[in-house]
Structure 1
Amino acid sequence: MTTTAAGTSMSTVDASRRSVGVEETEEGIRAATRRARRRHAARMWLGRILLPIILIGGWQVSTATGVVDKFFYGQPSMIWQALVSLFTNGTAFGSIWFNLAVTLKEAVFGFLLGTVGGIIFGLLLGQNRLLSDICSPYIKALNSVPRIILGSIFVVAFGLGTFPKVLLAAVLVFFIVFFNAFQGVREVNQDLVANVRVLGASPLQVARHVTIPSALTWIIASLHTAFGFAIIGALVGEVLGSQAGIGLIIVQAQGHFDPNTVFAAMILMAVITLVAESLLSILEKRVLSWRPPSRTEAQAI
Protein backbone atom coordinates (compact mmCIF):
# COMPACT_ATOMS: atom_id res chain seq x y z
CA MET A 1 0.00 0.00 0.00
CA THR A 2 2.78 2.38 0.92
CA THR A 3 4.69 1.57 -2.28
CA THR A 4 1.55 2.13 -4.39
CA ALA A 5 0.85 5.48 -2.73
CA ALA A 6 4.44 6.59 -3.29
CA GLY A 7 4.27 5.62 -6.95
CA THR A 8 1.01 7.54 -7.36
CA SER A 9 2.53 10.60 -5.70
CA MET A 10 5.59 10.49 -7.97
CA SER A 11 3.34 10.18 -11.06
CA THR A 12 1.37 13.22 -9.92
CA VAL A 13 4.59 15.20 -9.43
CA ASP A 14 5.86 14.20 -12.87
CA ALA A 15 2.56 15.17 -14.47
CA SER A 16 2.66 18.55 -12.72
CA ARG A 17 6.22 19.14 -13.91
CA ARG A 18 5.28 18.27 -17.48
CA SER A 19 2.27 20.60 -17.28
CA VAL A 20 4.46 23.43 -15.99
CA GLY A 21 6.99 22.72 -18.74
CA VAL A 22 4.30 22.86 -21.45
CA GLU A 23 2.95 26.13 -20.07
CA GLU A 24 6.45 27.62 -19.98
CA THR A 25 7.04 26.49 -23.58
CA GLU A 26 3.77 28.01 -24.77
CA GLU A 27 4.53 31.26 -22.95
CA GLY A 28 7.98 31.33 -24.54
CA ILE A 29 6.48 30.85 -27.99
CA ARG A 30 3.99 33.67 -27.41
CA ALA A 31 6.76 35.97 -26.16
CA ALA A 32 8.92 35.16 -29.19
CA THR A 33 5.95 35.82 -31.48
CA ARG A 34 5.36 39.21 -29.85
CA ARG A 35 9.03 40.13 -30.22
CA ALA A 36 8.98 39.09 -33.89
CA ARG A 37 5.89 41.24 -34.49
CA ARG A 38 7.52 44.23 -32.82
CA ARG A 39 10.68 43.81 -34.89
CA HIS A 40 8.60 43.54 -38.07
CA ALA A 41 6.60 46.66 -37.17
CA ALA A 42 9.79 48.60 -36.39
CA ARG A 43 11.40 47.61 -39.69
CA MET A 44 8.18 48.40 -41.57
CA TRP A 45 7.87 51.91 -40.13
CA LEU A 46 11.57 52.54 -40.62
CA GLY A 47 11.24 51.59 -44.28
CA ARG A 48 8.11 53.71 -44.67
CA ILE A 49 9.91 56.75 -43.26
CA LEU A 50 13.19 56.26 -45.10
CA LEU A 51 11.65 55.62 -48.53
CA PRO A 52 10.02 59.07 -48.99
CA ILE A 53 13.03 60.76 -47.36
CA ILE A 54 15.35 59.16 -49.90
CA LEU A 55 13.06 59.80 -52.89
CA ILE A 56 12.09 63.38 -52.00
CA GLY A 57 15.58 64.23 -50.82
CA GLY A 58 17.13 62.87 -54.01
CA TRP A 59 14.57 64.76 -56.08
CA GLN A 60 15.33 68.00 -54.22
CA VAL A 61 19.10 67.60 -54.56
CA SER A 62 18.96 66.64 -58.23
CA THR A 63 16.81 69.65 -59.13
CA ALA A 64 18.84 72.04 -56.94
CA THR A 65 22.11 70.95 -58.60
CA GLY A 66 20.65 71.09 -62.10
CA VAL A 67 20.89 67.35 -62.81
CA VAL A 68 17.11 67.37 -63.32
CA ASP A 69 15.39 70.41 -64.81
CA LYS A 70 12.91 71.73 -62.24
CA PHE A 71 11.07 73.65 -64.97
CA PHE A 72 9.71 70.38 -66.31
CA TYR A 73 9.74 68.12 -63.24
CA GLY A 74 9.13 70.55 -60.40
CA GLN A 75 10.93 70.66 -57.06
CA PRO A 76 9.71 69.36 -53.68
CA SER A 77 10.28 72.67 -51.90
CA MET A 78 8.39 74.55 -54.63
CA ILE A 79 5.61 71.94 -54.57
CA TRP A 80 5.20 72.62 -50.87
CA GLN A 81 5.02 76.36 -51.60
CA ALA A 82 2.39 75.72 -54.27
CA LEU A 83 0.40 73.61 -51.81
CA VAL A 84 0.51 76.34 -49.19
CA SER A 85 -0.49 78.91 -51.83
CA LEU A 86 -3.52 76.86 -52.84
CA PHE A 87 -4.84 76.96 -49.28
CA THR A 88 -3.89 80.55 -48.49
CA ASN A 89 -4.53 82.34 -51.79
CA GLY A 90 -7.05 80.02 -53.40
CA THR A 91 -7.38 79.61 -57.17
CA ALA A 92 -8.90 81.48 -60.09
CA PHE A 93 -11.98 79.23 -59.71
CA GLY A 94 -12.61 79.77 -56.01
CA SER A 95 -11.07 78.47 -52.82
CA ILE A 96 -9.29 75.15 -52.80
CA TRP A 97 -11.93 73.82 -50.39
CA PHE A 98 -14.67 74.59 -52.90
CA ASN A 99 -12.81 72.84 -55.70
CA LEU A 100 -12.03 69.86 -53.48
CA ALA A 101 -15.70 69.61 -52.56
CA VAL A 102 -16.70 69.66 -56.24
CA THR A 103 -14.33 66.86 -57.19
CA LEU A 104 -15.11 64.82 -54.11
CA LYS A 105 -18.86 65.13 -54.72
CA GLU A 106 -18.47 63.90 -58.28
CA ALA A 107 -16.26 61.00 -57.18
CA VAL A 108 -18.51 59.92 -54.29
CA PHE A 109 -21.73 60.04 -56.34
CA GLY A 110 -20.03 58.17 -59.17
CA PHE A 111 -18.63 55.64 -56.72
CA LEU A 112 -22.05 54.98 -55.18
CA LEU A 113 -23.83 54.78 -58.55
CA GLY A 114 -21.22 52.46 -60.06
CA THR A 115 -21.09 50.27 -56.94
CA VAL A 116 -24.86 49.78 -56.76
CA GLY A 117 -25.10 49.06 -60.48
CA GLY A 118 -22.13 46.69 -60.41
CA ILE A 119 -23.48 44.72 -57.46
CA ILE A 120 -26.98 44.39 -58.93
CA PHE A 121 -25.88 43.30 -62.38
CA GLY A 122 -23.09 41.11 -60.98
CA LEU A 123 -25.50 39.22 -58.73
CA LEU A 124 -28.16 38.87 -61.45
CA LEU A 125 -25.82 37.61 -64.16
CA GLY A 126 -23.81 35.49 -61.75
CA GLN A 127 -26.90 33.51 -60.74
CA ASN A 128 -28.47 33.27 -64.21
CA ARG A 129 -26.33 31.35 -66.71
CA LEU A 130 -28.59 32.12 -69.70
CA LEU A 131 -28.70 35.86 -68.97
CA SER A 132 -24.94 35.84 -68.48
CA ASP A 133 -24.33 34.15 -71.84
CA ILE A 134 -26.63 36.64 -73.59
CA CYS A 135 -25.07 39.77 -72.09
CA SER A 136 -21.44 38.60 -71.96
CA PRO A 137 -20.27 39.83 -75.41
CA TYR A 138 -21.93 43.22 -74.97
CA ILE A 139 -20.42 43.77 -71.53
CA LYS A 140 -16.98 42.86 -72.85
CA ALA A 141 -17.45 45.22 -75.79
CA LEU A 142 -18.46 48.10 -73.50
CA ASN A 143 -15.55 47.39 -71.19
CA SER A 144 -13.13 47.63 -74.12
CA VAL A 145 -14.22 51.18 -75.03
CA PRO A 146 -11.57 53.72 -73.89
CA ARG A 147 -12.96 55.70 -70.98
CA ILE A 148 -11.67 59.03 -72.26
CA ILE A 149 -13.90 58.60 -75.32
CA LEU A 150 -16.90 58.02 -73.06
CA GLY A 151 -15.91 61.11 -71.09
CA SER A 152 -15.88 63.22 -74.26
CA ILE A 153 -19.29 61.87 -75.23
CA PHE A 154 -20.70 62.62 -71.77
CA VAL A 155 -19.35 66.19 -71.81
CA VAL A 156 -20.79 66.83 -75.29
CA ALA A 157 -24.15 65.30 -74.36
CA PHE A 158 -24.62 66.67 -70.83
CA GLY A 159 -22.48 69.82 -70.70
CA LEU A 160 -19.87 71.00 -68.22
CA GLY A 161 -21.82 70.35 -65.03
CA THR A 162 -21.52 67.61 -62.42
CA PHE A 163 -23.54 64.91 -64.16
CA PRO A 164 -21.04 63.88 -66.90
CA LYS A 165 -18.24 63.52 -64.32
CA VAL A 166 -20.48 61.39 -62.12
CA LEU A 167 -21.32 59.21 -65.11
CA LEU A 168 -17.68 58.74 -66.09
CA ALA A 169 -16.69 57.88 -62.51
CA ALA A 170 -19.64 55.47 -62.30
CA VAL A 171 -18.58 53.69 -65.50
CA LEU A 172 -15.05 53.19 -64.19
CA VAL A 173 -16.35 51.85 -60.88
CA PHE A 174 -19.11 49.72 -62.41
CA PHE A 175 -16.91 47.25 -64.26
CA ILE A 176 -14.56 46.71 -61.32
CA VAL A 177 -17.42 45.94 -58.92
CA PHE A 178 -19.43 44.02 -61.52
CA PHE A 179 -16.70 41.53 -62.38
CA ASN A 180 -15.89 40.94 -58.70
CA ALA A 181 -19.56 40.47 -57.77
CA PHE A 182 -20.06 38.18 -60.76
CA GLN A 183 -17.04 36.03 -59.87
CA GLY A 184 -18.02 36.03 -56.19
CA VAL A 185 -21.41 34.54 -57.05
CA ARG A 186 -19.79 31.92 -59.31
CA GLU A 187 -17.45 30.91 -56.46
CA VAL A 188 -20.32 30.14 -54.06
CA ASN A 189 -20.29 26.54 -52.79
CA GLN A 190 -22.97 24.85 -54.89
CA ASP A 191 -23.34 22.00 -52.39
CA LEU A 192 -24.34 24.57 -49.78
CA VAL A 193 -26.85 26.12 -52.19
CA ALA A 194 -28.32 22.70 -52.97
CA ASN A 195 -28.65 21.86 -49.26
CA VAL A 196 -30.44 25.13 -48.56
CA ARG A 197 -32.83 24.52 -51.44
CA VAL A 198 -33.56 21.01 -50.16
CA LEU A 199 -34.56 22.57 -46.86
CA GLY A 200 -37.18 24.60 -48.75
CA ALA A 201 -35.47 27.98 -49.15
CA SER A 202 -36.88 30.24 -51.85
CA PRO A 203 -34.58 31.83 -54.49
CA LEU A 204 -34.74 35.10 -52.54
CA GLN A 205 -33.76 33.35 -49.31
CA VAL A 206 -30.89 31.56 -51.07
CA ALA A 207 -29.63 34.89 -52.39
CA ARG A 208 -30.03 36.63 -49.04
CA HIS A 209 -28.53 33.99 -46.76
CA VAL A 210 -26.01 32.20 -49.00
CA THR A 211 -25.13 33.95 -52.27
CA ILE A 212 -24.77 37.55 -51.15
CA PRO A 213 -22.82 36.81 -47.93
CA SER A 214 -20.47 34.54 -49.88
CA ALA A 215 -19.93 37.13 -52.61
CA LEU A 216 -19.55 39.97 -50.11
CA THR A 217 -15.85 39.31 -49.62
CA TRP A 218 -15.24 39.77 -53.36
CA ILE A 219 -17.44 42.88 -53.50
CA ILE A 220 -15.82 44.61 -50.52
CA ALA A 221 -12.36 43.83 -51.88
CA SER A 222 -13.24 45.55 -55.17
CA LEU A 223 -14.28 48.76 -53.39
CA HIS A 224 -10.70 49.52 -52.35
CA THR A 225 -9.70 49.80 -55.99
CA ALA A 226 -13.01 51.23 -57.15
CA PHE A 227 -12.82 54.47 -55.15
CA GLY A 228 -9.44 55.31 -56.67
CA PHE A 229 -10.97 54.85 -60.11
CA ALA A 230 -13.89 57.09 -59.09
CA ILE A 231 -11.38 59.84 -58.32
CA ILE A 232 -9.71 59.24 -61.69
CA GLY A 233 -13.07 59.43 -63.47
CA ALA A 234 -13.96 62.73 -61.80
CA LEU A 235 -10.55 64.25 -62.60
CA VAL A 236 -10.59 63.09 -66.24
CA GLY A 237 -14.08 64.51 -66.66
CA GLU A 238 -12.93 67.84 -65.25
CA VAL A 239 -9.89 67.86 -67.52
CA LEU A 240 -12.15 67.30 -70.54
CA GLY A 241 -14.39 70.19 -69.58
CA SER A 242 -15.60 71.74 -66.33
CA GLN A 243 -16.24 74.96 -64.47
CA ALA A 244 -14.57 73.99 -61.19
CA GLY A 245 -12.68 71.15 -59.55
CA ILE A 246 -9.16 69.85 -59.02
CA GLY A 247 -9.00 68.66 -62.63
CA LEU A 248 -9.57 72.21 -63.85
CA ILE A 249 -6.78 73.46 -61.56
CA ILE A 250 -4.46 70.83 -63.07
CA VAL A 251 -5.40 71.90 -66.62
CA GLN A 252 -4.75 75.56 -65.81
CA ALA A 253 -1.38 74.72 -64.21
CA GLN A 254 -0.46 72.65 -67.24
CA GLY A 255 -1.28 75.56 -69.52
CA HIS A 256 0.99 77.81 -67.45
CA PHE A 257 3.84 75.26 -67.41
CA ASP A 258 3.52 74.95 -63.64
CA PRO A 259 4.40 71.35 -62.67
CA ASN A 260 4.57 72.28 -58.97
CA THR A 261 0.85 73.05 -58.79
CA VAL A 262 0.10 69.86 -60.73
CA PHE A 263 2.03 67.82 -58.17
CA ALA A 264 0.37 69.73 -55.32
CA ALA A 265 -3.07 68.83 -56.70
CA MET A 266 -1.96 65.21 -57.07
CA ILE A 267 -0.89 65.15 -53.41
CA LEU A 268 -4.30 66.46 -52.32
CA MET A 269 -6.12 63.73 -54.23
CA ALA A 270 -3.72 61.08 -52.92
CA VAL A 271 -4.47 62.13 -49.34
CA ILE A 272 -8.22 61.98 -49.98
CA THR A 273 -7.87 58.52 -51.54
CA LEU A 274 -5.85 57.25 -48.57
CA VAL A 275 -8.49 58.54 -46.13
CA ALA A 276 -11.22 56.83 -48.17
CA GLU A 277 -9.15 53.63 -48.19
CA SER A 278 -8.94 53.74 -44.39
CA LEU A 279 -12.71 54.22 -44.10
CA LEU A 280 -13.33 51.30 -46.47
CA SER A 281 -11.02 49.11 -44.38
CA ILE A 282 -13.06 49.96 -41.27
CA LEU A 283 -16.26 49.16 -43.20
CA GLU A 284 -14.77 45.85 -44.35
CA LYS A 285 -13.94 44.81 -40.78
CA ARG A 286 -17.45 45.64 -39.59
CA VAL A 287 -19.36 44.07 -42.47
CA LEU A 288 -17.20 40.95 -42.63
CA SER A 289 -16.81 40.47 -38.86
CA TRP A 290 -18.46 37.04 -39.20
CA ARG A 291 -15.75 35.82 -41.60
CA PRO A 292 -13.02 33.54 -40.19
CA PRO A 293 -9.61 35.24 -40.19
CA SER A 294 -7.48 34.67 -43.26
CA ARG A 295 -4.04 33.04 -43.00
CA THR A 296 -2.32 36.44 -42.87
CA GLU A 297 -4.75 37.74 -40.24
CA ALA A 298 -4.40 34.55 -38.20
CA GLN A 299 -0.62 34.87 -38.16
CA ALA A 300 -0.93 38.45 -36.89
CA ILE A 301 -3.10 37.40 -33.93
Structure 2
Amino acid sequence: MRDALARAWARQAIALTTLVLLWEVCSRAGLIDPFYAPPPTVIAMTFYELFAGGTIWEHIAATFSAALLGLFGGLLIGSALGFAAAMVRPLADVLEPVMILLNAIPRVILAPLFIIWFGIDLGSKVALSLVLVAVLIFFSVYSGIREVDTRLVERVQTLGGGRATLLREVYVPSVTAWVMGSLKVAVGFAFTGAVVGEFVASSRGLGYLLSFAQSTYNAAQTLALIFIIMAFVLLLFSLAGRLERWLLHWRYA
Protein backbone atom coordinates (compact mmCIF):
# COMPACT_ATOMS: atom_id res chain seq x y z
CA MET A 1 0.00 0.00 0.00
CA ARG A 2 2.75 2.42 0.96
CA ASP A 3 4.79 1.49 -2.11
CA ALA A 4 1.80 2.17 -4.38
CA LEU A 5 1.20 5.51 -2.66
CA ALA A 6 4.86 6.44 -3.02
CA ARG A 7 4.81 5.57 -6.73
CA ALA A 8 1.67 7.67 -7.20
CA TRP A 9 3.32 10.64 -5.47
CA ALA A 10 6.43 10.17 -7.59
CA ARG A 11 4.41 10.16 -10.83
CA GLN A 12 2.57 13.30 -9.76
CA ALA A 13 5.82 15.04 -8.84
CA ILE A 14 7.41 14.12 -12.17
CA ALA A 15 4.36 15.34 -14.11
CA LEU A 16 4.26 18.63 -12.19
CA THR A 17 8.01 19.21 -12.61
CA THR A 18 7.78 18.49 -16.34
CA LEU A 19 4.88 20.93 -16.72
CA VAL A 20 6.74 23.68 -14.86
CA LEU A 21 9.90 23.17 -16.93
CA LEU A 22 7.93 23.24 -20.20
CA TRP A 23 6.17 26.41 -19.07
CA GLU A 24 9.51 28.05 -18.22
CA VAL A 25 11.15 27.05 -21.51
CA CYS A 26 8.16 28.07 -23.66
CA SER A 27 7.86 31.41 -21.91
CA ARG A 28 11.58 32.17 -22.20
CA ALA A 29 11.60 31.10 -25.84
CA GLY A 30 8.70 33.39 -26.70
CA LEU A 31 6.28 30.57 -27.50
CA ILE A 32 4.08 31.91 -24.67
CA ASP A 33 3.66 35.64 -24.18
CA PRO A 34 5.19 36.34 -20.72
CA PHE A 35 2.86 39.32 -20.29
CA TYR A 36 -0.10 36.93 -20.04
CA ALA A 37 1.69 33.88 -18.59
CA PRO A 38 4.95 34.88 -16.83
CA PRO A 39 7.52 32.10 -16.39
CA PRO A 40 7.48 30.18 -13.09
CA THR A 41 10.73 31.84 -11.98
CA VAL A 42 9.06 35.26 -12.19
CA ILE A 43 6.06 33.97 -10.25
CA ALA A 44 8.43 32.51 -7.65
CA MET A 45 10.09 35.92 -7.28
CA THR A 46 6.65 37.46 -6.82
CA PHE A 47 5.98 34.91 -4.09
CA TYR A 48 9.15 36.00 -2.34
CA GLU A 49 8.25 39.67 -2.62
CA LEU A 50 4.77 39.07 -1.23
CA PHE A 51 6.02 37.20 1.83
CA ALA A 52 9.24 39.16 2.36
CA GLY A 53 7.33 42.33 3.21
CA GLY A 54 5.14 40.49 5.70
CA THR A 55 1.93 42.34 4.80
CA ILE A 56 0.55 39.29 2.95
CA TRP A 57 -0.21 37.63 6.28
CA GLU A 58 -2.78 40.29 7.14
CA HIS A 59 -4.60 39.56 3.89
CA ILE A 60 -4.35 35.78 4.37
CA ALA A 61 -5.77 36.15 7.90
CA ALA A 62 -8.68 38.23 6.60
CA THR A 63 -9.60 35.70 3.92
CA PHE A 64 -9.10 32.74 6.24
CA SER A 65 -11.26 34.33 8.95
CA ALA A 66 -14.14 35.00 6.55
CA ALA A 67 -13.91 31.56 4.92
CA LEU A 68 -13.72 29.58 8.17
CA LEU A 69 -16.47 31.56 9.89
CA GLY A 70 -18.67 31.10 6.83
CA LEU A 71 -17.78 27.40 6.68
CA PHE A 72 -18.61 26.65 10.31
CA GLY A 73 -21.70 28.87 10.27
CA GLY A 74 -22.91 27.22 7.06
CA LEU A 75 -22.29 23.75 8.50
CA LEU A 76 -24.31 24.53 11.63
CA ILE A 77 -27.19 26.34 9.93
CA GLY A 78 -27.37 23.97 6.95
CA SER A 79 -27.31 20.93 9.23
CA ALA A 80 -29.98 22.33 11.54
CA LEU A 81 -32.30 23.33 8.70
CA GLY A 82 -31.75 20.08 6.80
CA PHE A 83 -32.41 17.99 9.89
CA ALA A 84 -35.53 19.97 10.79
CA ALA A 85 -36.89 19.76 7.24
CA ALA A 86 -36.31 16.00 7.07
CA MET A 87 -38.00 15.34 10.41
CA VAL A 88 -40.94 17.78 10.12
CA ARG A 89 -42.78 17.49 6.82
CA PRO A 90 -44.66 20.86 6.99
CA LEU A 91 -41.33 22.60 7.55
CA ALA A 92 -39.87 20.81 4.53
CA ASP A 93 -42.69 22.19 2.40
CA VAL A 94 -41.49 25.68 3.31
CA LEU A 95 -37.71 25.25 3.37
CA GLU A 96 -37.15 22.99 0.37
CA PRO A 97 -38.48 25.44 -2.27
CA VAL A 98 -36.41 28.26 -0.77
CA MET A 99 -33.24 26.19 -0.86
CA ILE A 100 -33.98 25.00 -4.40
CA LEU A 101 -34.41 28.63 -5.46
CA LEU A 102 -31.13 29.62 -3.80
CA ASN A 103 -29.40 26.66 -5.40
CA ALA A 104 -30.79 27.55 -8.83
CA ILE A 105 -29.21 31.02 -8.91
CA PRO A 106 -25.47 31.73 -8.82
CA ARG A 107 -25.11 32.64 -5.15
CA VAL A 108 -22.05 34.79 -5.82
CA ILE A 109 -24.34 37.41 -7.39
CA LEU A 110 -25.55 38.08 -3.86
CA ALA A 111 -22.16 39.64 -3.05
CA PRO A 112 -23.16 43.23 -3.99
CA LEU A 113 -26.38 42.93 -1.94
CA PHE A 114 -24.51 41.61 1.11
CA ILE A 115 -22.00 44.44 0.81
CA ILE A 116 -24.89 46.92 0.86
CA TRP A 117 -26.35 45.21 3.92
CA PHE A 118 -23.21 44.40 5.92
CA GLY A 119 -20.58 46.80 4.54
CA ILE A 120 -17.19 46.05 3.03
CA ASP A 121 -15.74 44.54 6.21
CA LEU A 122 -15.80 40.95 7.45
CA GLY A 123 -19.58 40.58 7.74
CA SER A 124 -20.41 40.59 4.03
CA LYS A 125 -17.72 38.01 3.23
CA VAL A 126 -18.85 35.70 6.04
CA ALA A 127 -22.48 36.04 4.91
CA LEU A 128 -21.66 35.08 1.33
CA SER A 129 -19.54 32.09 2.39
CA LEU A 130 -22.22 31.02 4.85
CA VAL A 131 -24.98 31.03 2.22
CA LEU A 132 -22.84 29.06 -0.24
CA VAL A 133 -22.05 26.40 2.36
CA ALA A 134 -25.45 26.30 4.07
CA VAL A 135 -27.36 25.45 0.89
CA LEU A 136 -24.96 22.60 0.07
CA ILE A 137 -25.05 21.17 3.60
CA PHE A 138 -28.84 21.53 3.81
CA PHE A 139 -29.33 19.19 0.87
CA SER A 140 -26.66 16.80 2.19
CA VAL A 141 -28.36 16.47 5.59
CA TYR A 142 -31.87 16.47 4.15
CA SER A 143 -31.00 13.77 1.63
CA GLY A 144 -28.99 11.79 4.19
CA ILE A 145 -31.99 11.47 6.49
CA ARG A 146 -34.55 10.93 3.74
CA GLU A 147 -32.43 8.17 2.19
CA VAL A 148 -32.26 6.14 5.40
CA ASP A 149 -33.69 2.67 4.80
CA THR A 150 -37.17 2.63 6.32
CA ARG A 151 -36.80 -1.10 7.04
CA LEU A 152 -33.81 -0.32 9.25
CA VAL A 153 -35.86 2.28 11.13
CA GLU A 154 -38.71 -0.21 11.59
CA ARG A 155 -36.34 -2.88 12.91
CA VAL A 156 -34.84 -0.50 15.46
CA GLN A 157 -38.33 0.50 16.60
CA THR A 158 -39.38 -3.16 16.77
CA LEU A 159 -36.44 -3.87 19.06
CA GLY A 160 -37.59 -1.10 21.38
CA GLY A 161 -35.45 1.72 20.13
CA GLY A 162 -36.93 5.15 20.70
CA ARG A 163 -36.27 8.48 18.99
CA ALA A 164 -32.96 8.95 20.83
CA THR A 165 -31.73 5.52 19.66
CA LEU A 166 -32.78 6.26 16.08
CA LEU A 167 -30.92 9.56 16.12
CA ARG A 168 -27.76 8.07 17.62
CA GLU A 169 -27.60 4.77 15.77
CA VAL A 170 -29.30 5.46 12.42
CA TYR A 171 -29.75 9.09 11.48
CA VAL A 172 -26.50 10.58 12.77
CA PRO A 173 -24.22 8.00 11.02
CA SER A 174 -26.15 8.45 7.78
CA VAL A 175 -26.02 12.25 7.97
CA THR A 176 -22.34 12.22 8.93
CA ALA A 177 -21.47 10.20 5.83
CA TRP A 178 -23.40 12.59 3.56
CA VAL A 179 -21.96 15.72 5.20
CA MET A 180 -18.39 14.45 5.11
CA GLY A 181 -18.86 13.60 1.45
CA SER A 182 -19.74 17.25 0.82
CA LEU A 183 -17.20 18.79 3.20
CA LYS A 184 -14.42 19.25 0.63
CA VAL A 185 -16.84 20.98 -1.73
CA ALA A 186 -18.02 23.13 1.18
CA VAL A 187 -14.43 24.22 1.89
CA GLY A 188 -14.07 25.35 -1.72
CA PHE A 189 -17.41 27.18 -1.54
CA ALA A 190 -16.38 28.95 1.67
CA PHE A 191 -13.20 30.28 0.08
CA THR A 192 -15.11 31.19 -3.07
CA GLY A 193 -17.50 33.31 -1.04
CA ALA A 194 -14.72 35.02 0.90
CA VAL A 195 -12.54 35.78 -2.13
CA VAL A 196 -15.44 36.90 -4.35
CA GLY A 197 -16.70 39.21 -1.60
CA GLU A 198 -13.24 40.72 -1.21
CA PHE A 199 -12.88 41.03 -4.97
CA VAL A 200 -16.12 43.00 -5.26
CA ALA A 201 -15.41 45.44 -2.42
CA SER A 202 -12.91 45.24 0.40
CA SER A 203 -9.91 46.95 1.95
CA ARG A 204 -7.94 43.76 2.65
CA GLY A 205 -7.84 40.06 1.87
CA LEU A 206 -6.53 37.91 -0.96
CA GLY A 207 -9.53 38.85 -3.10
CA TYR A 208 -8.66 42.52 -2.61
CA LEU A 209 -5.07 41.83 -3.71
CA LEU A 210 -6.38 39.89 -6.71
CA SER A 211 -8.58 42.83 -7.69
CA PHE A 212 -5.62 45.21 -7.43
CA ALA A 213 -3.37 42.89 -9.45
CA GLN A 214 -6.03 42.53 -12.13
CA SER A 215 -6.54 46.30 -12.36
CA THR A 216 -2.79 46.80 -12.90
CA TYR A 217 -2.51 43.88 -15.39
CA ASN A 218 0.00 42.15 -13.10
CA ALA A 219 -0.30 38.54 -14.28
CA ALA A 220 2.58 37.32 -12.12
CA GLN A 221 0.99 38.58 -8.91
CA THR A 222 -2.42 37.30 -9.98
CA LEU A 223 -1.06 33.79 -10.55
CA ALA A 224 0.94 33.91 -7.32
CA LEU A 225 -2.18 34.81 -5.34
CA ILE A 226 -4.20 32.08 -7.08
CA PHE A 227 -1.52 29.52 -6.15
CA ILE A 228 -1.56 30.76 -2.54
CA ILE A 229 -5.33 30.27 -2.35
CA MET A 230 -5.01 26.83 -3.96
CA ALA A 231 -2.34 25.82 -1.43
CA PHE A 232 -4.49 26.74 1.57
CA VAL A 233 -7.58 25.05 0.10
CA LEU A 234 -5.56 21.87 -0.55
CA LEU A 235 -4.33 21.99 3.05
CA LEU A 236 -7.91 22.19 4.29
CA PHE A 237 -8.86 19.38 1.88
CA SER A 238 -6.21 17.21 3.52
CA LEU A 239 -7.51 18.05 7.00
CA ALA A 240 -11.07 17.33 5.86
CA GLY A 241 -9.94 13.95 4.52
CA ARG A 242 -8.33 13.07 7.84
CA LEU A 243 -11.46 14.14 9.71
CA GLU A 244 -13.60 12.03 7.39
CA ARG A 245 -11.44 8.94 7.98
CA TRP A 246 -11.61 9.53 11.75
CA LEU A 247 -15.38 10.04 11.91
CA LEU A 248 -16.19 7.30 9.41
CA HIS A 249 -13.60 4.80 10.63
CA TRP A 250 -16.23 2.06 10.45
CA ARG A 251 -16.50 2.55 6.70
CA TYR A 252 -12.73 2.42 6.10
CA ALA A 253 -12.34 -0.56 8.44
Residue 292 of structure 1 is matched in structure 2 by 251
- The percentage of counterpart residues that share the same residue type is 33
**CA distance in structure 1 between the partners assigned to 2:198 and 2:147 by the alignment:** 38
Residue 163 of structure 1 is matched in structure 2 by 123
Residue 83 of structure 1 is matched in structure 2 by 47
Q: Unpaired segments of 5 or more residues in structure 2? A: none
CA offset at residue 200 of structure 1? 4.0
**CA distance in structure 1 between the partners assigned to 2:9 and 2:184 by the alignment:** 22
1:277 and 2:237 aligned = yes
Residue 185 of structure 2 is matched in structure 1 by 225
CA offset at residue 246 of structure 1? 0.6
**CA distance in structure 1 between the partners assigned to 2:9 and 2:245 by the alignment:** 23
**CA distance in structure 1 between the partners assigned to 2:116 and 2:206 by the alignment:** 20
Residue 60 of structure 1 is matched in structure 2 by 24
CA contact (8 A) 1:74 1:260 kept: yes
Out of 52, 62, 66, which is 1:102 matched to?
62
Out of 250, 266, 285, which is 2:210 matched to?
250
Q: Render the CA deviation track for 1:36-84: whole Å, top value 9, x for unaligned.
A: x63x334312321121112211111111111111111222111100000
CA offset at residue 292 of structure 1? 3.5
Out of 218-227 and 138-147, give the one that drifted further.
Answer: 138-147
**CA distance in structure 2 between the partners assigned to 1:173 and 1:232 by the alignment:** 10
Q: What amino acid is the match of 1:71?
A: F
Residue 214 of structure 1 is matched in structure 2 by 174
Report the TM-score, using the length of structure 1 for normalisation. 0.79
Q: What amino acid is the match of 1:147?
A: R
Q: Render the CA deviation track for 1:10-45: whole Å, top value 9, x for unaligned.
A: xxxxxxxxxxxxxxxxxxxxxxxx6xx63x334312
Residue 223 of structure 2 is matched in structure 1 by 263
Residue 238 of structure 1 is matched in structure 2 by 198
**CA distance in structure 2 between the partners assigned to 1:229 and 1:110 by the alignment:** 9
CA contact (8 A) 1:110 1:170 kept: yes
Q: What amino acid is the match of 2:240?
A: L
**CA distance in structure 1 between the partners assigned to 2:235 and 2:24 by the alignment:** 27
**CA distance in structure 2 between the partners assigned to 1:45 and 1:249 by the alignment:** 32
**CA distance in structure 2 between the partners assigned to 1:134 and 1:101 by the alignment:** 38
CA contact (8 A) 2:102 2:135 kept: no
Q: Render the CA deviation track for 1:217-242: whole Å, top value 9, x for unaligned.
A: 11111111111111111000000111
**CA distance in structure 1 between the partners assigned to 2:221 and 2:194 by the alignment:** 18
Residue 4 of structure 1 is matched in structure 2 by none
* SS in structure 2 at match of 1:242: coil
* SS in structure 2 at match of 1:71: coil
**CA distance in structure 2 between the partners assigned to 1:256 and 1:116 by the alignment:** 40
**CA distance in structure 2 between the partners assigned to 1:99 and 1:42 by the alignment:** 35
* 1:71-220 → structure 2 map (5 Å cutoff): 71-90=35-54, 95-220=55-180
Q: What amino acid is the match of 1:96?
A: I
CA offset at residue 273 of structure 1? 1.1
Q: Unpaired segments of 5 or more residues in structure 1? A: 1-33
Report the TM-score, using the length of structure 2 for normalisation. 0.93
Equivalent pairs, count: 253
**CA distance in structure 2 between the partners assigned to 1:256 and 1:84 by the alignment:** 19
Q: Render the CA deviation track for 1:104-162: whole Å, top value 9, x for unaligned.
A: 00000000001111111122222334432343222211222222321110011111110
**CA distance in structure 2 between the partners assigned to 1:41 and 1:213 by the alignment:** 29
CA contact (8 A) 1:188 1:215 kept: no
> What root-mean-square deviation, in Å, do the aligned CA atoms of Structure 1 and Structure 2 show?
1.8
Q: What amino acid is the match of 2:53?
A: N
**CA distance in structure 2 between the partners assigned to 1:157 and 1:41 by the alignment:** 49
